[in-house]
């Protein structure tokens, strides 16, 4: 049997996994092991008050692997991009984001190596999908950033890096559960955000299961043809059905649903889009997150000069808006720019 990945299991699951291998581990000891290895980044042999028998069993049946830090690129605005190598050589990226309160950071985590959604304005989308990350790899990416953050603390996490989180649903939700466990990442559930381009069946499952992490839906256009061009995979799904899934989530949580809108010159920045959006989501509480496009290609999408009229149109339509700053563009660490270009060992 393959060794158990300690960073991918909650304490109860560690107990079950070892029991399947003929080892009985008390839950209290599993919690201690989890707290030290995941919560504090300690090695298994550094965990206190573990019997010799259990220590030998852990050495035989478990492992706690780290990701290799290939490169850390710091931007002038305080954002830093981390290029990480998995044991099989696959590269993944994470971004450390400074928050308003000094000494507090968020980590933007990838859920896949590449992405299958093919979003036209996203560098990751142009890579194609190599594979999905396992839950332990996402937790290990968070741990790599945490362990190097000597000047502060990671207080939140967002699954908005490479990949579509709901295309790797079970692993992402497992990673979120470990990050939000009080003995694991210790991050409040409401401080974890999961993004989706609008995979409707997974959105409905997520709503039905009653998760308390924040959900943000990447909409980008309320015109079906425009959205299909911008999001070739997700755009094939019925826009009206997506609107119903958003409404269902809002009703189930009693909270407005954030919808991401990457503003692009001449594409989705006309106030007529606001009219369509208002009609599409009529009666559904949402918060429109306005984001600047980041496209380094000479012939790529450009930032809109019509931000003010677009914001005015949102206000006139009664649609709450949040301006989301996308930092790290100087190091290709901003929204839509993650592409893990250094592929050589």
C-beta of residue 293 within 8 angstroms of C-beta of residue 336? yes
How far is C-alpha 192 from the geometric centre of its chain's CA atoms? 8
Angle ∠(72,78,80) on CA atoms, nearest 5: 20
- Annotated catalytic residue, options 64, 108, 119, 335: 335
- Least Cα distance to 33 among 9, 16, 53 occurs for 9
Q: Please classify residue 104 by burial: count the beta carbons closer than 10 Å to its beta carbon, then call 0-12 exposed, 13-18 middle and 19+ buried.
A: middle
Angle ∠(205,208,213) on CA atoms, nearest 5: 85
Q: Is 335 a catalytic residue?
A: yes
> Percent helix, strand, coil in the chain (nearest 5)?
35, 20, 40
- Annotated catalytic residue, options 5, 93, 137, 164: 93
C-beta of residue 65 within 8 angstroms of C-beta of residue 84? no
Q: What are phi and psi of 144, to 5 degrees?
A: -60, -40
Q: Is 93 a catalytic residue?
A: yes
| Per-residue b or e along 14-37, where b marks 16 or more CB atoms closer than 10 Å to that residue's CB | bbebbeeeebebeeebbbbbbbbb
Beta strands in 59-210 (DSSP E): 62-63, 68-74, 80-85, 91-98, 104-109, 112-114, 129-132, 153-159, 192-196
C-beta of residue 233 within 8 angstroms of C-beta of residue 117? yes
| Active site residues per annotation | 93, 335
């Amino acid at each position: 049997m393959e060794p158990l990945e300690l960073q991918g299991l909650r304490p109860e699951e560690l107990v079950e996994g070892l029991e399947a291998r003929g080892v009985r581990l008390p839950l209290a000891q599993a919690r201690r092991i989890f707290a030290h290895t995941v919560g504090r980044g300690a090695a298994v042999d550094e965990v206190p008050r573990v019997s010799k028998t259990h220590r030998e069993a852990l050495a035989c049946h478990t492992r706690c692997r780290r990701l290799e830090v290939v490169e850390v690129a710091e931007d002038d605005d305080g954002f830093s991009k981390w290029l990480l190598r998995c044991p099989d050589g696959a590269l993944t990226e994470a971004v450390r984001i400074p928050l308003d309160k000094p000494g507090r950071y968020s980590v933007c985590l990838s859920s896949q190596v590449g992405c299958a959604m093919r979003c036209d304005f996203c560098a990751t989308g142009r890579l194609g999908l190599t594979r999905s990350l396992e839950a332990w790899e996402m937790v290990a990416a968070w741990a790599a950033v945490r362990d190097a953050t000597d000047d502060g603390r990671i207080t939140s996490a967002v699954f908005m890096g490479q990949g579509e989180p709901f295309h790797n649903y079970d692993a992402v939700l497992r990673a979120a559960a470990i990050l939000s466990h009080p003995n694991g990442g210790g991050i409040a559930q409401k401080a974890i955000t999961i993004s989706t381009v609008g995979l409707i069946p997974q959105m409905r499952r997520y709503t039905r299961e009653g998760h308390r992490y924040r959900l943000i839906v990447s909409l980008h256009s309320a015109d079906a043809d425009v959205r299909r061009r911008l999001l070739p995979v997700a755009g094939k799904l019925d826009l009206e059905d997506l609107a119903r899934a958003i409404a269902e989530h809002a009703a189930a949580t009693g909270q407005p649903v954030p919808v991401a809108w990457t503003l692009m010159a001449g594409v989705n920045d006309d106030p007529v889009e606001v009219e369509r959006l208002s009609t599409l989501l009529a009666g559904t509480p949402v918060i429109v997150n306005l984001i600047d496009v980041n496209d380094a290609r000479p012939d790529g999408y450009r930032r809109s000069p019509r931000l003010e009229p677009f914001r005015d149109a949102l206000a006139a339509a009664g649609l709450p808006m949040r301006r989301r700053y996308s930092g790290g563009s100087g190091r290709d660490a901003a929204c839509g720019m993650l592409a893990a270009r250094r592929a050589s060992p």
